[in-house]
Each structure stands twice: as C-alpha cells, then as structure tokens.
Chains A and B, each alone.
Chain A
Amino acid sequence: MLDNLLKIKFKNTSRGRITDKISKIVFMSATILSASFIFVIAGIIFIRGVVPFTTDNLGVGRVSLFHFLTGDVWLIGETFASNLYSIGFIILSTLFITLLSLAISFPVGVLTALFIAKIAPKPIAKILRIVIETLASIPSIVFGLFGAGVILKLVYDFSSSIGYQSKGGNSILSVVIVLALMTIPTITTISEVAIRSVDPAIEQGSLALGASKTQTNFKVVLSSAKSGIFTAAILGIGRSLGEATAVSLVAGGRRSGLSFDLLDTTSTLTTIMLEGLKETTGIDYDIRFSVGLVLMVVILLTNLMLNAIKRRVGVVHVKE
C-alpha cells in the first residue's frame, strides 16, 4: 500500500519535472521571440536609416548628418533631386510639444486618479474607472478626427477672438490639446493603481497625527505613490512622442523655421515621416527611416533620463 503510494508520488514528480522543463523552454522561446523583434525592427530601421548618409542616393548625393540634425528647413530644392534634408527644428518642436502636453495631462491625470482612488464614493469611482479605461483604449485616429473636426474650429475661433489670424486652427495648441486628451487616460489609469497601492497604514498615521484629509492626500498619498506616478508620466511622454496619425491631422505640416508660437503651424518627427509616405520613393522614402532612427534615439534618451530621475525620486513604503 505504502509502496504503491510512493510509486505514484514518484511518478507525479518526475512528470512534473518534465512539464516544468517543457514550459520553461516554451516561455523562454516566447521571450526570445518577442525580444528579438525589438532587435530586428531597430536593426532594419538602423540599416535603412543610415543609407541616405552613407550612399550617394542614386546620384542625388550624400545627406550631411550635421546639416540633417541642425538645419532649419525640411528640404531645400526639388523632391527626389535634392539631398538638403534637415530635421533640427522638428526635433525641438517635437520635444516642446511633448512637454506642453504633459504640462496639461500630468496634473489633470494625477488629480483625476486621486479623486477616483481616494475621494469619490465607490459607485462613482467604479463608473469613472470604466470611463477612463474606455478613453485609454480609443484608437488615436478617433482622437485625430475629433481634433480635425472640433478642436481646429475651437482654436480657430479662439485665436480670431483674440485678434490673431491662425491658420485654420492648425497649430501647436491644437496638437497639444489632442495629445493631452490622449495621454490623460494613460496617466490616470497608471497613477490610480499607484495611489491605491499606497499602504493604508501611512495614510492612517498621517490622519492620526491630526493632518486633514486634503493634507494627507497631497503630502502623504501622492508622495508615497510618486514612483508609480512617474511611471505614468513616462508612458504618457512615450505616447506623445510616438503619436503620428492624430497629430498630422491638426499640425499643419510646417516645413521650415523653428517656431514656439502656440497658434502657428508645426511638425513633429512622426508627422514628417507620415506625410507623403505612401506615395514616395528613393531618397525621399529612405530619409523617413533616418527620421525614425532619430525618433528612436530621442525616445531612448528621454526614457533613460526620466528613469534616472525616477531612481532619484525614490520609493516610499508601498504595499506589495
């Protein structure tokens, strides 16, 4: 009897070990597959992106990397016949737009998260959570259509009411509004999770010491959740930097001259890649890979910088 039991047990464990091994291999190959995509994509973008700088582009001439990164005009001369591409001003306006949209979406998103997590009554919080999650999953083209149909008109009317002639509302302001609308749900969802996972003991301690509810929320809850809130900001920035479709519908396609004028047209790294992409060939096509390469570098650098700041900000006791 005992003998039999032992046998069964032994069988089970040996089978268990095999399953463990198999599942380990399966999981590992899935990880290798998904990780290798990053290298394949980055590699292909890199290989194609350096073509304009290393070859003479079928007689058009080599693109100067220095001019490309610092210039003030997208393309001087005729398309397909000129190598004078540059995106210096576009890099700066992309960063400017991202910062501005974060300046709107970050406070709004975090305060919404705080309201949902701590202040709102349970049933309302539940509804709001569904609303925000739905907003977060709306495709960017829908935000773009909303931007082109509603925000352009609002910005146009606003600027004419202050006596400024805008270009049909196509402006930095419209882009910033569209991006803020898109990033608020992302920031809200992630910060809300961070706020909810703050250890209640810290909160109760603050209240017991005589701090008011508002003081506790701002000074204790938010600062305890700052690491998670920072992650939300990083993801928000990522979405702003990478958005192409919605932005291209309201940006106006600026082709030269750096401008920080909120009501003037603009271009971002993504819109310049997207415009004309489907119809173009040769150097005008290849150069878009170079822009993509620059965009990837910009995103990488921003993320590294933000992560460094995040580490400095540090983590307070958070419920695991």
Chain B
Amino acid sequence: MKKILSMIIMLFIGVSLVACADKTTTVSTSSFDETKSINVYTRDTTSGTRTGFMEGIGFAEAATSDSVLVDGFLIKDNTGILTTIAIDEYGIGYVSLSSVNSSIKGLQFNGIAPTEANVINDTYALKRPFMWMTRAEGDYPSQTVEDIVKAFVAFLGTTDGGDIINNQGAIALPSTTTWDSIKSNHNVCIQDNSSVTVRFGGSDSIQKVAQALTAAFMPKCGNFVAEHDHTGSSDAYKRTNDPAIKDTSVGKDVGFASRNFRGSELDVPAVRRGQLAWDAIVAIVNLNNPLVNVTAEDLKKMYNGTYKTWSEILG
C-alpha cells in the first residue's frame, strides 16, 4: 500500500513538473527580428490555388515547377500553411480567402485589404474569375439539353447556386434571386430528364465547384446526368464553340475557364458567356510580422529568392 501511495505521489509530482515546463516554453517573444530569413510556404504543384497565386503575382512558371522557387521552400496543404504560419513568425504563405482566420494576418495586396467586399467590387487584385461559356443556340445535341443548360446558367446566378459556390471556397457574385422564384421559367426541369446527359468541361481548377453545382442542380432539374471532363481553361471555348473541335467526341455543352476570356473567345456573344464566381487568394504572415501590404513584385521576389531576409522587404 505504501508503495502504491509513493508511486502516485511520484506521478503527481512528475505531472506538475511537466506542467511547469509547459508554461515556460509557450511564452513567445513578440519582437520581430528583421534580419531573419524568409520562410517560403507553398502548395504542391497540383494545387489550383498555387496556379491562381503564381499567375496573380506574375510568376506563372512557378505554378507547375518547383525548380524556379527559392531554395528551402516548404510544401504544405491549405490547413498546413495556415497552422504553421500561425507558429512561424518569419514565414510567408498563401491560402484561399475563404480560409483566412484570426490566427494569421492576411496581407493587403497593392494597398487593398483582402475582404469579400473588395473582391466583389473588383478592387482586390490577387484573384481570378471563374467564367462559363455555352454552345450556340440550336447547336446542342437536343432541345432538352439546350433548355437544361439555360436553366443551369440561370441557377448559377441564384442565391442557391451562390451558396454552393461559397461552400467550395470561391466567392459567388452577389444575388438576391432564389431558384424557387425563377424555376417556373424553366419548364424543362419539371419533366423527367434522367436519360439526358449534359457535358461539362473546361478548367480543372473549377472542377470541384462545377461538380458541386451540378450535383446540387441535378435533383432540381429532372435528375439529368452531368458528365464532367475538365481539361483546362482554353478548352472552355474550344470544346463548345471552336468549329473544328466542338462537334467531335470531346465536345461540351458548358465550358468553364478560370481566367477572363480573351482574343477570339470574345467573339462568342455576351449572352452565351459570363462569370459565376471569383477565386481570391490571400498572402498571409504571422501576427507578429509588421508587414501589412505587399505588391505582386514583392511576392514574386520572395518566392523566387531575390528577397532572402525580411529587412529587404520591410526596410
């Protein structure tokens, strides 16, 4: 019995000692040492956020290549970057706007704060648009498909569609219409469409958002079948409107692009293309970091290794 008692007392003392040690180690210094090197955090090369960020700061070659980045960079996922930047006073990383929280500091980009409002009014620049494009009228496999596509495009502009876009981490354009208020304009959704296949394609960065949208819309529109085949932004135009490709086996009914349409893509009439959302990315640093604002040039210089220490950007 004595033995047991002494054991328990020993254990207790041990635990209380550990608790003491814990308290002393968690006190962190709040002074920021500018001479320290910059720790660069990035997503891996398969990440759409990485593509958006690197293209946004004018460093597109780093979207798919690790070789051009500064030596000693760290690869983490979205949550990993968030949690480590909260610890690492000298780190810089980037996350999608929807995951920014108070444990880290989201940097202003060109003097504009990273807020949803600034994204929607198009002042915050570190972002890319999510665009859609459809085939020409009468150029669909059937009238039913054309009607479903029209209903889908209308759905994109509703609050119902917006909620799904926001849930996927993108930022939907503001809207007040609900699907319930406009669904009477789309009679095609009342009938049973379970034998109808609608083909979606284009940007692979939008694939998750697009799949979530079609998954939500299918039961609202007669359970049509959505077929997703996302290959890249330039295929949004090519596979829906390019006469040489649109009628081959890879042709699509709706194409998505994660950039603005350009060049000959703009020849498609404005009613058959539009924007569904913004994808905003925020450069983040530790709360102790005095930096509040960065430019694309600053970020590029940090990621390609021109700036090695924080004094070079702060000083």
Contact A168 B39 (CB under 8 A): yes
Contact B39 A124 (CB under 8 A): no
Bound: A208/B253 CA distance, A: 89
Contact A167 B39 (CB under 8 A): yes
Chain B residue contacts of A121, Cβ below 8 A:
3-4, 7
Task: Give the size of the chain B interface in residues (CB under 8 angstroms).
Answer: 35
Bound: A163/B46 CA distance, A: 35
Closest CB in chain A relative to B106 CB, distance in Å:
18
A157-B26 contact given A79-B45, A81-B64, CB 8 Å threshold: yes
B4, B84, B88: the one contacting A124 at CB < 8 Å is B4
Bound: A77/B67 CA distance, A: 6
Bound: A154/B77 CA distance, A: 21
B3, B36, B74, B85: the one contacting A265 at CB < 8 Å is B74
A196 within 8 A of B: no
A156-B7 contact given A79-B45, A149-B83, A168-B74, CB 8 Å threshold: no
A310 within 8 A of B: no
A73 within 8 A of B: yes
A253-B46 contact given A81-B64, A167-B91, A169-B88, CB 8 Å threshold: no
A148 within 8 A of B: yes
Chain A residue contacts of B65, Cβ below 8 A:
77-79, 82
A192 within 8 A of B: no
Interface centre among B26, B80, B85 (most CB of A within 10 A): B80
Closest CB in chain A relative to B89 CB, distance in Å:
8
B 45-95 contacts with A by CB, 8 A: 45-47, 61, 64-67, 71-77, 80, 83-85, 87-88, 90-91
Bound: A96/B308 CA distance, A: 29
Closest CB in chain B relative to A90 CB, distance in Å:
13
Contact B67 A167 (CB under 8 A): no
B185 within 8 A of A: no
Chain B residue contacts of A168, Cβ below 8 A:
39, 41, 74, 84-85, 87-88, 91
A74 within 8 A of B: yes
Contact A265 B72 (CB under 8 A): yes
B25 within 8 A of A: yes
Chain B residue contacts of A124, Cβ below 8 A:
4, 7
Interface centre among B37, B65, B67 (most CB of A within 10 A): B67
Closest CB in chain B relative to A124 CB, distance in Å:
6
A60 within 8 A of B: no
B195 within 8 A of A: no
A80, A123, A157, A275: the one contacting B75 at CB < 8 Å is A275
B249 within 8 A of A: no
A279 within 8 A of B: yes
B121 within 8 A of A: no
Chain B residue contacts of A75, Cβ below 8 A:
66-67
A165-B37 contact given A253-B75, A275-B44, CB 8 Å threshold: yes
Contact B75 A280 (CB under 8 A): no
A167-B88 contact given A253-B76, A255-B73, CB 8 Å threshold: yes
Contact B88 A156 (CB under 8 A): yes
B 12-36 contacts with A by CB, 8 A: 25-26, 28-29, 36
A170-B74 contact given A124-B4, A156-B88, A157-B28, CB 8 Å threshold: yes
Closest CB in chain A relative to B232 CB, distance in Å:
11
Contact A284 B26 (CB under 8 A): no
Interface bits A94-131 vs B (CB < 8 Å: 1, else 0)? 00000000000000000000000000110110000000
Contact B84 A170 (CB under 8 A): yes
A158 within 8 A of B: yes
Closest to B83 in A: A148
A182 within 8 A of B: no
Bound: A277/B41 CA distance, A: 19
Chain B residue contacts of A74, Cβ below 8 A:
66
A167-B74 contact given A79-B64, A148-B80, CB 8 Å threshold: yes
A152 within 8 A of B: yes
A246 within 8 A of B: no
A76 within 8 A of B: yes
Interface bits A138-172 vs B (CB < 8 Å: 1, else 0)? 00000000001100111011101000010111100
Closest to A264 in B: B72
Closest to B39 in A: A167
The 3 closest A-B pairs by CB, nearest first: A253-B75, A168-B88, A279-B46
Would you mind naming 12 contact pairs between A and B with Cβ atoms under 8 Å apart?
Answer: A78-B64, A79-B45, A79-B66, A124-B4, A124-B7, A148-B83, A148-B84, A154-B25, A168-B39, A168-B91, A169-B88, A284-B45
Using a CB–CB cutoff of 8 Å, the interface residues on chain A facing chain B are 73-82, 120-121, 123-124, 148-149, 152-154, 156-158, 160, 165, 167-170, 249, 252-257, 264-265, 275-276, 279-280, 284
- Contacts beyond the supplied A148-B80, A154-B25: 7 A-B pairs with Cβ under 8 Å: A152-B87, A165-B39, A167-B91, A170-B84, A264-B72, A276-B45, A284-B45
